[in-house]
Amino acid sequence: MKYNELQITSNKDRKRVGRGIAAGGGKTAGRGTKGQNSRTGKKLRAMFQGGQRPLAQAIPKARGFKSLRTPAQVVYLDHLNAFAGKTADNFTLFEEGYIATPFHTVKVISRGELTEKVTLKVQAASASVQEALTKAGGSFEKVATPIQKSAEKAAADEK
């Protein structure tokens, strides 16, 4: 057993200062000598910086709304030409290097031309992309974002 592994609680009494020399915390009572901080009744607000303009007052407030939603990963329409006659979903887009992770929302937006027939199975696609897909003979299917299995569940599923 190590000293830091001992299961004991600290039940030490607080130090009573200013009770004479014999008590050990007498005279200045740990406040040092002289100055504003040594005086009794010393009450300064938390932001007080000796009369200097406080930093928190000098910096502007962060206004507006900050969304906690992670933005969708963007794939462009002309990238889909690489999936000629195949299905493009989160995992195939990830394998080809078009998205960073297959477990976040993917949206396909219009850029360039689609020349190949592609079946698209992702979370979102713009109206112009859906139109281009049907024009090229492909289709779009909206699917839910894949959920990543934990390592423990994946190991249990393999058995």
Question: What CATH architecture does domain 73-142 belong to?
Answer: Ribosomal Protein L15; Chain: K; domain 2 (3.100)
Q: What is the pLDDT of residue 151?
A: 64
What CA–CA distance (Å, rounded) separates 121 from 105?
A: 12
Higher model confidence: residue 89 or residue 155? Answer: 89
Q: What is the pLDDT of residue 101?
A: 93
Q: What is the pLDDT of residue 1?
A: 86
Reference 72, options 112, 100, 95; nearest CA is 100
pLDDT digits (tens, 9 = 90+) for 76-125: 999 999 988 899 999 999 999 999 999 999 999 999 999 889 999 999 99
**Average pLDDT of span 68-74:** 93
pLDDT digits (tens, 9 = 90+) for 7-49: 887 788 888 998 998 888 889 998 889 888 888 887 788 888 8
**Which residues fall within 8 angstroms of residue 71, CB to CB, at 6 or more apart?**
none
What CA–CA distance (Å, rounded) separates 114 from 98?
A: 16
Q: What is the pLDDT of residue 158?
A: 65
pLDDT for 127 beyond 90: yes
| pTM of the model as a whole | 0.56
Indicate the domain borders of the chain.
73-142
Judged by phi (left if over 0) then psi (alpha if -120 to 50, else beta), residue 20 lies in left
**Residues β-bridged to residue 106:** 73
Q: What SS3 class is residue 28?
A: coil
